[in-house]
Every structure is written in structure tokens, then in C-alpha cells.
Amino acid sequence: MRLASISVDLDSLPHYCRIHGLPESLLDERARTLVHAVAVPRFRELLDGLGAPGTFFAIGEDLESDPGAAAGMRAAHEAGIEVASHSHAHDYALTRRGLPAIREDLARADAAILAATGVRPEGFRAPGYTLNADLYAATAEQGYRYGSSAFPAAPYYAAKAAVMGALALVGRPSRSVLDTPRVLLAPRVPYRPDPSRPYQRGSGAVLELPMAVTPGVRFPFIGTFATTLPLSALRAAWRACRKDAFFNFELHGVDVLDATDGIPPELVRQQRDLRVSAARKLERLREVFGWLKAECDVVTLRDAAGRLSTSL
């Protein structure tokens, strides 16, 4: 049977302010913790209803600054959900900081997750999906079983480049980092990376589980699109992936939030999917998760890595 994983990046709203070049002072205390306080329980309910586990990628800093977030991750872990690392500071330029600083960031994230859940994370997703040799080396040193950072999607790359160009033009440069186009040549199925060029195949110890993109046009099958595109387009993208032995569905906490949850209008203007009601997005996700469940064994990324590692 095919394998599928559902993973959720728990980027809190301050990280969205940074990516859109907006001041974090827009966020009150409730908005700062909204992803953990509101989106995490909604995802827990979705996964419970599905009867399948998922993987939460937590940011270390968020767990340290918000006791509610740490408690939520412990409860998730106890319910069989994997809690993996999404770095400590979610620095979009992490790959450029040099190995010692990267090492320190990853170790701090691990400590925060260990303190919250009682176990060390076994998987890692890079902030902004940007991977290089230094970051790959650090993930190997941390002893992770897998990474899930490669996002080899052409349309996504083009959209990100366009948005960053537009922000620079209006004098509001984004803190996001545009990844090397080499990522577009990365395998779209699980592989063992070359440690010196982690977007290429090699014999590295840490498996890479790329996020789902369709074969051919490499349309990214991610939460933002799953919640906002016409159902027919999404169904076609899902069918296009039917020959893949593994389907890695990546989402974000904000994929189950909307403007009425208390998100500042300035941020809603930039993050257009927040205008779609959470009720509608939840309904859509219930349906799409159902497709995965009907055709695949839905497991955590950690378990997927364990099962795939023997053949890679």
C-alpha cells in the first residue's frame, strides 16, 4: 500500500510579519500565540476524525516563549502525533549563517522540544524550505532520521520570486531568502542526499522526504493551494501523483485560521488565503485527508522514513 504523511508547520504569526516585511508590533498577545492556541487544536480534531497520526513541525523559540504551546506539543506527542523540529528561530537566512551558528540553532530547538514533549525530535524541516551543505551537515550531526525541506516546485519558486521583487520595489524588502534554482532539479520522491549538494542524490545518512509536487509541471500540492483552489483542480493534481509510493502533504497552522480569528487586517491583506473562512478550509481538508486515507497508509514522517530507509 502507498504511504502518505500529513505534516503541519507551526509558524506563529510573528514569522508571517517577517516574511511580509510587516512590524511585529501589529500583533497583540492573542495574535502572537494564535497558531498554537487555535490552529493546533483544529488540526488535532481533523486528525482525530481521520483516525491517523500527523507530524507537527514546531519552532523552538515559540515553545520557549509560550507555555501553552509547549503544553500543546506534549499533549500532541502523548496522542501519537510526531513533534519534529522547524528550527529554533525560524531564521530564513539560516543556511547563510555558517555551521557553528546553524548547529547552535538546531541544538536549541531540540532542547526546547525535548523539554516540552520529553523526547528528542527525529526530523527536521528548514525555515523557508532552504537547504544547503552546512545545514545538511548540522542535521546529520543532530542525528535526525530524516529531513523534509526540499520543495521542488517551479510555480512556487516563480511566485515567491515575484512577491519578493514586488516588496523590494515598494521599499518593504522581505526577510525571506530565495532558494537556489537547483532545488527545481531535486528529486520529487524520497532520496538519500549528497551531503555536499543536498538537492542531489548521494549517500548521506539523513533521508530527504520532499514535499509533494506533481510529476511533470511540478505543481505544489500544499495546504495553501489545497484550501483555496477549485476542488476539480486539486483532484486532478492528486490523481497525477497516484503512481508515487509516498505522498508528503505539507500544511501550515494558518491553513485552518481566518481573519475572524483575530489576525490583524494588515496581515490578512498580504496572506490572501486568510480571507477564506476557516470552516470552509476545514471542510476541504477533511475531504482531501479522506482521499489520502482511502488510498494510502497515513503515517508520521518519522515512520515513513523508517519504512522507506530500507529501500534507499
Residues at the contact surface with Zn ion, assessed by CB under 5 A: 9, 11
Task: Tell me the closest approach of the beta carbon of residue 146 to Zn ion, in angstroms.
Answer: 17
Local structure of residue 220 (DSSP, 8 states): B
How many whole angstroms separate alpha carbon 306 and alpha carbon 190? 12
In whole angstroms, what is the distance from residue 121 CA to residue 113 CA?
7
Shorter beta-carbon distance to Zn ion: residue 252 or 302: 252
Q: How far apart are CA 213 and CA 222, in angstroms?
A: 8
Smallest distance, Zn ion to C-beta of residue 255, A: 12
Work out whether the CA dihedral 230, 232, 237, 242 comes out positive or negative. positive
Q: Is the Cβ of residue 9 or residue 134 nearer to Zn ion in the bound state?
A: 9
Query: Least distance to Zn ion from the beta carbon of 138, Å?
Result: 17
Q: Which residue number, 76 or 94, has a Cβ lying nearer to Zn ion?
A: 94
**Residue 280, C-alpha cell as written in the block:** 470552509
What is the nearest approach in angstroms of Zn ion to the Cβ of residue 239? 28
Q: Where are the beta strands (DSSP E) in the chain?
A: 2-9, 55-58, 82-85, 123-124, 146-147, 193-194, 197-201, 207-208, 246-252, 296-298
Query: What gap in Å lies between CA 252 and CA 12, rounded to an integer?
Result: 10
Least Å from the CB of residue 236 to Zn ion: 27
CB-closest chain residue to Zn ion? 11
Q: Quick one: 11 or 258, whose CB is closer to Zn ion?
A: 11
Cβ-based nearer residue to Zn ion, 9 or 179: 9
